[in-house]
Structures are given as C-alpha cells and as structure tokens.
C-alpha cells in the first residue's frame, strides 16, 4: 500500500435521496425525476408496467422476466432501462389474498429498498426509476422494479479481459498500475458494503459494473440487489460466501495471487495481515475450492 498511485479511490458523490411518488392507489412508486418519461410511455400504473412488452425480452424464468426498455427523454434521445417482473405463487400469499391483505415482502419491493439502502450508505448501485407490487385474488404476488441502465459501464470480468493483457502478455507490466487501481476500487466497494452490514449472496464479478472515465480512474457500481440482506448477527458465513464467489469468478489469467493479496489488504484496510485476517483468507479459499469441485473451474 506504499504505491502513491493506489491511494486515491473514486467514490460516488452523495446526492439527495430520490423523491418517490406514490401512484396507482399505492401499488406503484416512481422517482419524480423520471415521471415524464413514464408518462410518455404510458407506464404510470402497476398494470401497464406488468403488461408491457414494448421492450426486448432478455430472460424468462418460471417466476420472473427480465426486459430492456428504451424510454423517450423528450427531445433528448432515448434512455435504456431494465425491468424485472416477478410473479410468485405461495400458500402464504394465497391465504393473504383470501383475508384481503396485501402481499408479503415481494422481490420488487426488496430490490428497490436495497437500492435505497445502498445509496444511503454511499455505495453506488443502479438508479431506481420505479417499483410496484400487488396481490392477485388467486394468491399470485406480482411485483416489478425498474432501474436506469448503467450507460458506459461493463461488467468486471469482461472489463478485465478487454482492458488488460494476461499476465504473460507483453503489456502486463506497463498496465500494472492501472490494474492495481481497479483492484483497489473494487476492494474498497466490497469492504464498505460488508462493513455496512450487507451481504449480496451473488457477489460474482458480473455484478460489479465498471466505467473508466479517464485513464486509471475507475467507477464501480453494484447491480442485481434482489437477494441482498443486511444482517446484524451470524454474518461471517455470508461474507465468506460473497468473497469466495468473487474470487471464484475473477479471471485467473489477469488476477494473480499477488493481485488477490492486494485486493485482500485493501478490502481489510490493512498493510499487514494479522492472524484473524489469515483465518478469513483460509476460510474463503476453502469455500472457493468447494465451489470449484461442485461447479468446475470458472471459465
């Protein structure tokens, strides 16, 4: 940590929390800033968003659809957004529907709340555009979350392969200072995320999105926050799992053992590893080996 080039970590500027407006009799909430775009697209009520097929369908699962939409910015071009629609049937929600109650915590509401919590903690994520939820009479809980596209960002594993040569490549040494800054930036976000009490449960490289506005300056955003939790107790196993997932998915031809050690020191905010730090490393490595036996080595 004595290299001066590694000392500056770019962090997002704190901004005022978005003003979320309640729409459609409290079934939908929208960021006031994006309301004109939603109005132009006819997406100002819960039913219209759950029914829309105006974008591109990216993925379909039994209980979820992922869409990419482009909304008109009123003479300033179009803006990409990502929409997740959830439809979940459960006995709990069936009973709540019979009793005339609302749904239990829905994936749409959970992810929206996680975006807000991370923003309050100074950790950059997606910008929340809108979310909503409802409970059908047949017990199916419907919900959605709509977020702004991270324009100019690339997921971490792809960014590493596009931006940096493998360790045996001719440019590896020349690019090392910039790679070290990127490693420090990712470790800083992961460390602040865990110290704030969060765990992700899917903290793979693909959920860190990176942008390089100028050479060697990196902005880091976290995405896919549906499964994020904030725990006060019994957190260690989830922190270990997060770190093992990140280590498992890091491209080995770019992230060597030395660079992984640099990550750990920045993550722990230390220049010297203590016995408790080494114990954490051993636990993470053991979890990573378990993942490799079960899933194979990450491509």
Residues taking part in catalysis:
202
In DSSP notation, 99-111 reads TT---SS-HHHHH
- Going through 215-265 in order, the beta strands assigned E by DSSP cover 217-222, 229-230
Cβ proximity of 99 and 137 under 8 Å: no
Both tokens of 98, joined, read: 């019979």
* Cα–Cα distance, 144 to 46 (Å, whole number): 9
In DSSP notation, 44-78 reads -SHHHHHH--SSEEEEE-SSEEEEEEEEE-SSS-E
Q: Given the structure tokens 């939409």, which residue do they identify? A: 69
Q: Given the structure tokens 């640099």, which residue do they identify? A: 262
Q: Tell me how far CA of residue 182 lies from CA of 10, 164, 242, 267, in angstroms.
A: 10, 11, 19, 13
Cβ proximity of 232 and 217 under 8 Å: no
By CB atoms closer than 10 A (0-12, 13-18, 19+), residue 48 is middle
Q: Tell me how far CA of residue 102 lies from CA of 23, 93, 141, in angstroms.
A: 16, 8, 9
Q: Is 270 helix (H, G, I), strand (E, B) or coil?
A: coil
Torsion of CA 121, 125, 131, 134, to 10 degrees: -80
């Amino acid at each position: 940590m004595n290299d001066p080039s590694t000392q500056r970590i770019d962090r997002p500027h704190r901004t005022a929390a978005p003003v979320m407006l309640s729409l459609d009799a409290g079934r939908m909430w929208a960021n006031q800033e994006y309301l004109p775009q939603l109005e132009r697209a006819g997406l100002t009520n819960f039913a219209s968003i759950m029914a829309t097929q105006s974008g591109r369908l990216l993925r379909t699962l039994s209980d979820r659809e992922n869409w990419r939409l482009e909304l008109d910015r009123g003479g300033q071009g179009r803006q990409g957004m990502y929409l997740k629609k959830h439809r979940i049937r459960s006995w709990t929600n069936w009973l709540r529907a019979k009793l005339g109650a609302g749904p239990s915590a829905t994936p749409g509401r959970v992810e929206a709340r996680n975006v807000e919590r991370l923003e309050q903690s100074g950790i950059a994520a997606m910008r929340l555009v809108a979310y909503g939820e409802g409970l059908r009479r047949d017990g199916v809980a419907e919900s959605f979350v709509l977020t702004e596209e991270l324009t100019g960002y690339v997921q971490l594993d792809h960014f590493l392969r596009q931006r940096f040569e493998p360790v045996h490549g001719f440019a590896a040494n020349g690019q090392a200072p910039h790679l070290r800054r990127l490693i420090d930036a990712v470790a800083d976000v992961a460390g602040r995320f865990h110290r704030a009490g969060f765990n992700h449960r899917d903290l793979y490289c693909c959920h860190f999105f990176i942008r390089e506005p100028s050479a060697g300056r990196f902005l880091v955003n976290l995405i896919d926050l549906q499964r994020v939790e904030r725990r006060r107790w019994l957190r260690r196993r989830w922190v270990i799992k997060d770190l093992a997932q990140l280590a498992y998915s890091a491209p080995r031809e770019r992230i060597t053992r030395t660079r992984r050690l640099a990550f750990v020191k920045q993550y722990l905010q230390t220049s010297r590893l203590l016995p408790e730090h080494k114990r954490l490393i051993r636990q993470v490595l053991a979890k990573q080996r378990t993942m490799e036996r079960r899933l194979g080595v990450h491509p």
